[in-house]
Amino acid sequence: ATDHSGNTKTYTQYISMTYDETLVRWTQFPDAEVNVSCTAADHTPEASEAVAEDGCGNNLNVSVNLIETTYPCDGERVEIWEFTAEDACGNPLSFNQTVNVYDHTDPEVVTKKDYWVLNQCGIDNETMIPANDTCDDTLAYAYQVGVDDIQESQFNDTCAYRYTIYREWKAVDDCGNEATEDQYIHMDWRGLAVQPTFYVKLENDTLVSLADYGLTDGQTIDYECAVEFVEPNIVALDACDNEITVTPSGPIEISNDCTHRYKDEY
């Protein structure tokens, strides 16, 4: 200030601006905990779900990051996402959201449920078949929990040519969800019957064909008087290579001189 005589006086004033960091706040934020199915397309929260402003009413940039993941079981997980914002003075703001990804989805047993098989020898007794699970990549197989032969009422003499195999399959994922599937395999070998094949079984259980043993159908074998007749051990295998009972009818001696002839039917 200057008076009329030109005398001057100065005065300096200092104004200290104090910023209240508590004014940094969320004006919009998502639920603290959400539950989503593992079959949902995407579980990632968006930064736009939260809005923050500083003490002057300015909107702040918000970011969201996954900071922790735990797995209660294969197919389920618990995710913790952190929303953060910061004003120009470095005052931080944060908010955590828990995302529970649950697995209530049953697996799927991959098999034909009902089909026919033309086969005289049956089929392999499988104990595992493929299975799929939308949320559990570790599940690859379903296990057999039940099996039975259901005889049907169609027979050929004393040999059943048609029957049904029942199998029950179960798949259980790591989270305890399970699925069962009934399977009916209808076996039919009408018209496929194959005559059994005869062999000679040696003492070491080796099977030799009749031709290799020197026998033919309708063959007559002469034995001298001093030679004891030794009947070959004739066996037969069916079309499925199962040994079946062979019943000889003799041998019947048909000679009337010193040379003995025998007839045997199998």
At 194-214, the pLDDT tens digits run 677 888 888 888 888 888 887
Question: What integer is the mean pLDDT of 138-155?
Answer: 60
- Residues forming a β-bridge with 123: none
The whole-number pLDDT of residue 36 equals 93
Given a cut of 80, whether residue 167 has pLDDT beyond it is yes
Angle, CA 86 vertex, CA 85 and CA 88 arms, to 5°: 150
Q: What are phi and psi of 191, to 5 degrees?
A: 80, -5
Pairing of strands 33-37, 178-188: unpaired
Query: Among 165, 168, 203, 202, which Cα is nearest to 185's?
Result: 165
- Could you give the 3-state DSSP secondary structure of residue 210? helix
> Which amino acid makes up residue 109?
V
CA distance 239 to 255: 37
What integer best gives the mean pLDDT of the chain? 77
Q: Which of 73-82, 107-116, 119-128 bottoms out in mean pLDDT, i.e. has the lowest?
A: 119-128
Question: What integer is the mean pLDDT of 85-97?
Answer: 90
CA distance 236 to 251: 18
* 169 DSSP 8-state letter: E
Q: Which of 2-16, 71-85, 155-169 bottoms out in mean pLDDT, i.e. has the lowest?
A: 155-169
Question: What integer is the mean pLDDT of 253-265?
Answer: 54
The whole-number pLDDT of residue 223 equals 59
Pairing of strands 222-223, 260-263: antiparallel
Q: How confident is the model at residue 30 (pLDDT cuts 50, 70, 90)?
A: very high
Given a cut of 50, whether residue 264 has pLDDT beyond it is yes
- Residues forming a β-bridge with 244: 236
Given a cut of 90, whether residue 67 has pLDDT beyond it is yes
CA distance 105 to 132: 11
The whole-number pLDDT of residue 60 equals 92
Given a cut of 70, whether residue 219 has pLDDT beyond it is no
Of residues 145 and 200, more confidently modeled: 200
Q: How confident is the model at residue 183 (pLDDT cuts 50, 70, 90)?
A: confident
Question: What integer is the mean pLDDT of 113-141?
Answer: 76
Tokens 């007839």 belong to which residue?
263
Q: How confident is the model at residue 158 (pLDDT cuts 50, 70, 90)?
A: very low
pTM of this structure: 0.58
CA distance 147 to 240: 21
- Could you give the 3-state DSSP secondary structure of residue 124? coil
- Could you give the 3-state DSSP secondary structure of residue 48? helix
Question: What integer is the mean pLDDT of 244-265?
Answer: 59
Of residues 86 and 5, more confidently modeled: 86
Tokens 């929260």 belong to which residue?
45
CA distance 194 to 189: 10
Token representation of residue 88: 């120009």
Question: What integer is the mean pLDDT of 154-173?
Answer: 68
